Amino acid sequence: MTARFSGGMPSLLRFITCGSVDDGKSTLLGRLLYDTGALPDDQLEALTRDSRHLHDDAPTALDFSLLTDGLDAERQQGITIDVAYRYFQTARRSFIVADCPGHEQYTRNMATGVSHAEAAVVLVDARKGLLPQTRRHTYLCALLGIRQIVLVVNKMDLVGHDEGVFMGIAQAYRELAQSLGFGDIQALPVVAPTGENVSHRSERMGWFRGPTLLDWLETAPSSSGQAGEFRMPVQWVNRIDSSTRGYAGTLCGGSVAAGDDVVVQPAMKRARVQRIVTADGDLARAWAGQAVTLVLDRELDISRGDVLADAAKPAPVSDQFAAHIVWMGDEALLPNRTYWLKVGTRTVNARVTAIKHKVDVDTGAQLAARRLELNDVGYGNIDLDHPIAFETYRDNRDLGGFILIDRQTHATVGCGMLDFALRRAGNLHWQHLDLDKDARSVTKGQRSRCLWFTGLSGAGKSTVANLVERRLHALGYHTYVLDGDNLRHGLNKDLGFTDEARVENVRRVAEVAHLMVDAGLIVLVCVISPFASERQFARELFDEDEFVEVFVDTPLDECERRDPKGLYRKARAGDIRNFTGIDSPYESPGHPEIHLLAGGRRAEQLAEDVVAYLIEGQGIG
């Protein structure tokens, strides 16, 4: 988001420095801070002391890279690992700069820096020319919406300030940039440690007639944020006084004035803006980048995550998208696994339903992929469990950019850019049915439930479930068993046993079980379902108390001893791969409704425990 300044204050430009390792990014940034007087006396003294300590052969030289490589590991290795943000100001403009790491394994850090920037300073070592990381970073800049790039050919002193070397690199980079959709690219020959063509012109490169880097930064156009229609994600509901409720947030597009008609999305409720409240008093009009509280002329059910938009030109609403994804998780992105997706101030459940391809960012080639690993960039379809108001990323970064969050660890594992809404999302509608789940259950004289049996292969899930069903059937209940092995002969016949296939296997079974519970049945599901994330997905399909997780807890050695299908023997022999408990993990339930310690008890006893829980504990009849 771009902040706006008024009243004679200089405008703000957010930019990044990027490039390959040892191209001199941190040194260049340190030099900019030094030349613009952004270093306080104590920091300058520390820089002088540290430089003398590290470079005793040049006691008067300043090592500017020490200013931004803040981590111990960065100083020891002489590289940038994390994104380092710095702030400085000239008479013409204020700057926030992100110093991005150059190593390929820190691509996710680089993507984080790019997502908030309006311009990029791409460094190239004059001795090496364009490197794979130069192409990778330029591709990420294009992908994440950077539209202004300046190429800095650094270390010109090490090539004798040769104009021919500079012109060759500049021409090669312009061809690369044009292939990625950039227009004209400004290129600068620079010596970062001495500041030549950084803040002052180089006498040794008199052949260069372009601006210095600081000149370019001071005059680069800043995204005003005022373009487009009025959009404001609601951050929280604000009680201005005992009788007035307002909706607080930061405008991420256009402007709004008192008296304007707005809609609350995605519900499309209409209202009129009565007041625009700020800490400094009411405003007649607010612009993109300003944080305000809007008071409306009527009471509406509005909460965090809703979007206030221009009533005449509301934002599109959808729940299915095509999107670019940059994967940041140590564990792979698996299609159909459920993640939290956060866009603006709204968080919803999301699944990547298909990965169309991943991108070789060094060459731009599209490669086939079934999953995305750490630092992969891919393109695919995303399905949400609720519709959201959105914009495409190229039109609005705030409503078109998103992050993906692991639901188990709460870690941010990916970021992405919405490309467009899938047309099929607009063609699908819920059909009203007169009869509901309660009506169907009443005619059967029971309350429908899903009993989800999970445990290792050979734990006894199917045996216990079969006994439970027989017992319930004898008592007059209407039941059905969805057995994992049986389903793989039909519904899931096309699935293998990779992690991706296991995720899809559980998703399909859960959806079928959900339909059967809706039909009023007591459904007994028997699948290993080794991952906690997928069991949580299944649970969330059902209403409260409808989902009963039954953990058949049989030790691995006991399951191997039983080995009723001979699968463990084959897995140990290497004839079966990705076998749960052997070379594929099983994540035990943390808090199942029923925990059956199955090692020393007969299946009949375990089944009676389940039936007693249902009849006495839940009152299913």
| DSSP of 89-116 | E-SSEEEEEEE---SGGGHHHHHHHHTT
The residue count for the chain: 621
3-class SS at 381?
Answer: strand
Sign, CA torsion 110/422/497/538: positive
Strand partners, 286: 256
Choose among 523, 555, 553, 526: nearest CA to 541. 523
Choose among 433, 404, 430: nearest CA to 417. 404
Annotated active-site residue 448? The verdict is: no
Q: Are strands 84-89 and 93-99 parallel, antiparallel or unpaired?
A: antiparallel
Q: What value does the CA radius of gyration of the chain take, rounded to a whole number of Å?
A: 30
Catalytic residue, chosen from 529, 533, 584, 588, is: 529
**Residue 94 and residue 36: Cα distance in Å, rounded?**
11
Phi, psi at residue 491, to the nearest 5°? -55, -40
The pair of three-digit structure tokens given for residue 443, joined into one six-digit string: 């005619």
The number of angstroms, rounded, from the C-alpha of 562 to the middle of its chain's C-alpha atoms is 43
Q: Are strands 148-154 and 186-189 parallel, antiparallel or unpaired?
A: parallel
**Residue 513 and residue 221: Cα distance in Å, rounded?**
56
**Residue 353 and residue 371: Cα distance in Å, rounded?**
11
Amino acid letter for position 428: L
3-class SS at 57?
Answer: coil
The answer to whether the CB of 487 falls within 8 A of the CB of 584 is no
Q: How far is CA 601 from CA 88, 500, 553, 596, 605, in A?
A: 71, 34, 11, 9, 7
The answer to whether the CB of 382 falls within 8 A of the CB of 317 is no
The answer to whether the CB of 193 falls within 8 A of the CB of 61 is yes
**Residue 114 and residue 146: Cα distance in Å, rounded?**
7
Q: Going along 374-510, which residue ranges are E strands? A: 377-389, 401-405, 412-421, 449-454, 479-483
Q: Could you give the residue numbers annotated as active site?
A: 529
